[in-house]
């Protein structure tokens, strides 16, 4: 297979995904409308990715371009380290999402029906990844031009560009490795062992995604690590050989010998990371038959669960079970817990009990607000995994019950981490405020999830093959949930740290009342507007 053929296969798969997402909401969808939707979706995706690219360039470019001669070395060193880390983190997250989507959307099953060998699958998977991260590939040459122009070193363009593409190769290899690990045993075992296996690999995915955020926070300590390593082994230019510090330290060389060493190091890392990516593509292509394998259903019949006559509760529990074995849904549901990490240093070393109580309350409120804002995206993620089985839901359950079930699943997931954290904070502070605000947050989450589900249900039917949410719609949903979160956010406005507990104690009746009104209003709207 040639690369042009692999590229055409990717375009066909993308068009099929768009067709499946819009078929249910538009019965008159024809070839002309489909082509227009394909172009529109691609344009939106390019705009979304271009915004991410622009944000990265704004983070790494201005410090280099605006620095004076005396601060140029530090500016280039800091920006180049951030450039390498940001490329790795962005491509890793995009690659992980893309490789999992390639499996979940059923594309691999379609490909396995074609006469393709391992090399053909490698090219198709690589073309798919390039298609997804395409705009990111322009960052290395743009930043390399900035560095080369500012430093006056022509060879810096080659070094910075190669380190950027090396980081991209490493990130893609890591995303493929994670995808292979997550799907290594799915469907091959059943029973309790299968549940523990899925829980372990889903936990691995969540921890990996959390570690990406932790890695970005550790960037603040990069200078300390650089100084320590430089003092530990100063005589051989150790930092010029250690990735990712070699990307920044290798730009400041004295003499042809050090320049040659820096370029050789750059080429070695680029080649090594490319070979790692090629090896992971081989592994991914080799395991494709196992990834599409589904275990035969077996076992004995059991007595129906008592909640089956209640479709809303049954659907919520079913969605939570899906979240337990689907890594991206698990990650989105527990993503607000990442906000707790930033408070750990303050909680471990408070100056007095009053400051500890204030930080505990502030940590809980940040957790509740973050969970409330993200909750509007959870129903879309849950509905995405219904795939081609949406007809089952719409044939036996009213739409208003479907939207209510998705909202209940989001609320139960929020309650699973919010109330234990609130209970712990209330016990340590001796105040019921965290627990009361957790209840208020649960009602806000329910309202935001229910309104989001209502919006989703109106454009979904039994003919819909898959549910996708665009970047612009995601922003609109986040803005909606942010507005609904005002009962939690308002008590913290214009309040100093030492006044947090007092302000929360004074404002909690109003927060409970407003969040309760929001939940009741959402229920009424769901009952009246959704049929």
What are 266-308's pLDDT values in tens digits? 899 999 999 999 999 888 888 776 555 444 444 555 555 655 5
Give the model confidence (pLDDT) of 389-434 as tens digits: 665 566 667 888 888 888 898 999 899 999 999 999 898 888 888 8
The pair of structure tokens assigned to 478 is 């986040």
pLDDT at 222 over 70: no
Q: What is residue 477's predicted lDDT score, i.e. its pLDDT?
A: 87
Q: What is residue 57's predicted lDDT score, i.e. its pLDDT?
A: 87
CA distance 412 to 64: 47
- For 68, residues 6+ apart whose C-beta sits below 8 A from its C-beta are none
Vertex 72: Cα angle to 71 and 78 (nearest 5): 95
Alpha-carbon distance values, 1 to 14, 109, 123, 126, 193 (Å) = 19, 19, 8, 13, 40
CB of 237 within 8 A of CB of 261? Answer: yes
Least confident of 49-58, 125-134, 359-368, 474-483: 49-58
pLDDT at 449 over 80: yes
Q: What is residue 203's predicted lDDT score, i.e. its pLDDT?
A: 62
Place 368 in a pLDDT band, splitting at 50, 70 and 90: very high
pLDDT at 516 over 90: yes
pLDDT at 153 over 60: yes
Rounded CA Rg of the chain: 26
From 1, 242, 281, select the one nearest 130 (Cα to Cα): 281
Least confident of 174-183, 208-217, 351-360, 450-459: 208-217
Q: What is residue 296's predicted lDDT score, i.e. its pLDDT?
A: 46
Give the model confidence (pLDDT) of 24-33 as tens digits: 555 666 777 7
Q: What is residue 189's predicted lDDT score, i.e. its pLDDT?
A: 45
Q: Mean of the per-residue pLDDT values for the chain?
A: 78
pLDDT at 215 over 90: no
Q: What is residue 14's predicted lDDT score, i.e. its pLDDT?
A: 75
Alpha-carbon distance values, 166 to 94, 135, 137, 228 (Å) = 16, 16, 11, 25
CB atoms within 10 A of CB 482: 15
Give the model confidence (pLDDT) of 319-347 as tens digits: 787 777 666 677 777 778 878 877 877 78
How would DSSP label each residue in 285-335?
HHTHHHHS--PPP-S---PPPTTTT-HHHHHHHHHHHHHHH-HHHHHHHHG
Backbone torsion region of residue 430, taken as left when φ is above 0, otherwise alpha when ψ lies between -120 and 50, otherwise beta: left
- pTM, whole model, 2 decimals? 0.66
pLDDT at 356 over 90: no
The pair of structure tokens assigned to 486 is 């005002």
Q: What is residue 286's predicted lDDT score, i.e. its pLDDT?
A: 80
From 469, 387, 464, select the one nearest 20 (Cα to Cα): 464
Vertex 429: Cα angle to 425 and 432 (nearest 5): 70
Q: How many residues does this entry show for the chain?
A: 531
Question: Which of the listed ranges 284-293, 344-353, 378-387, 449-458 does the model predict with the highest average pLDDT?
Answer: 449-458
Vertex 162: Cα angle to 178 and 52 (nearest 5): 60
DSSP one-letter code for 114: S
pLDDT at 439 over 90: yes
CB of 280 within 8 A of CB of 180? Answer: yes
Average pLDDT over residues 19-45: 70
Question: Which of the listed ranges 40-44, 159-163, 178-182 does the model predict with the highest average pLDDT?
Answer: 159-163
Q: What is residue 295's predicted lDDT score, i.e. its pLDDT?
A: 47
pLDDT at 387 over 70: no
Burial readout 406-439 (b: 16 or more C-beta within 10 A, e: otherwise):
bbbbbbbbbbebbbebbeebbeebebebbbbbbb
How would DSSP label each residue in 147-171?
HHHHH--HHHHHHHHHHHHHHHHHH
pLDDT: which is higher, 152 or 519: 519
């Amino acid at each position: 297979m040639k690369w042009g053929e692999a590229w055409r296969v990717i375009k066909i798969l993308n068009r099929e995904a768009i067709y499946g997402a819009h078929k249910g909401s538009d019965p008159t969808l024809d070839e002309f409308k489909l082509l227009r939707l394909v172009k529109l979706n691609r344009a939106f995706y390019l705009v979304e990715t271009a915004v991410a690219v622009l944000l990265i360039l704004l983070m790494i470019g201005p410090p280099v371009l605006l620095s004076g001669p005396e601060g140029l070395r530090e500016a280039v060193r800091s920006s180049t380290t951030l450039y390498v880390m940001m490329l790795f983190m962005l491509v890793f997250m995009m690659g992980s999402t893309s490789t999992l989507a390639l499996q979940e959307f059923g594309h691999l099953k379609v490909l396995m029906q074609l006469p393709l060998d391992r090399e053909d699958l490698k090219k198709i998977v690589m073309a798919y990844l390039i298609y997804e991260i395409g705009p990111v590939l322009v960052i290395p040459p743009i930043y390399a031009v900035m560095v080369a122009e500012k430093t006056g070193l022509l060879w810096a363009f080659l070094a910075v560009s190669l380190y950027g593409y090396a980081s991209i190769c490493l990130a893609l290899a890591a995303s493929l490795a994670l995808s292979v690990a997550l799907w290594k045993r799915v469907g091959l075992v059943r029973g309790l062992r299968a549940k523990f296996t899925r829980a372990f690999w889903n936990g691995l995915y969540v921890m990996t995604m959390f570690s990406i955020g932790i890695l970005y926070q550790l960037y603040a300590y990069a200078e300390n690590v650089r100084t320590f390593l430089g003092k530990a082994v100063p005589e051989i230019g150790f930092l010029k050989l250690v990735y990712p510090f070699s990307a920044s330290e290798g730009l400041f060389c004295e003499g042809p010998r050090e320049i040659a060493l820096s370029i050789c190091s750059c080429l070695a890392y680029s080649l090594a990371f490319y070979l790692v990516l090629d090896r992971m593509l081989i592994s991914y292509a080799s395991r494709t038959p196992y990834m599409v394998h589904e275990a035969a259903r077996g076992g004995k019949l059991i007595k129906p669960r008592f909640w089956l006559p209640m479709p809303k509760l049954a659907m919520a529990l079913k969605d939570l079970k899906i979240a337990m074995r689907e890594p991206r849904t698990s990650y989105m549901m527990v993503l607000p817990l990442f906000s707790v990490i930033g408070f750990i240093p303050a909680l471990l070393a408070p100056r007095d009990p009053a400051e500890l109580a204030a930080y505990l309350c502030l940590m809980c409120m940040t957790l509740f607000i973050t969970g409330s804002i993200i909750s509007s995206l959870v129903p879309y993620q849950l509905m995405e995994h219904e795939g081609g089985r949406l007809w089952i839901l719409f044939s036996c359950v009213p739409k208003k019950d479907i939207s209510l079930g998705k909202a209940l699943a989001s609320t139960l997931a929020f309650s699973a981490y919010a109330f234990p954290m609130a209970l712990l904070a209330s016990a340590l502070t001796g105040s019921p405020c965290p627990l009361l605000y957790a209840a208020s947050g649960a009602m806000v989450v329910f309202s935001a999830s229910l309104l989001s589900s209502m919006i989703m249900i109106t454009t979904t039917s039994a003919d819909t093959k898959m549910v996708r949410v665009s970047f612009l719609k995601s922003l609109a949903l986040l803005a909606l949930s942010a507005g609904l979160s005002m009962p939690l956010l308002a008590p913290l406005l214009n309040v100093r740290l030492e006044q947090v507990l007092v302000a929360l104690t004074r404002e909690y009746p109003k927060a409970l009342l407003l969040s309760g009104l929001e939940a009741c209003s959402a229920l009424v709207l769901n009952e009246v507007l959704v049929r």
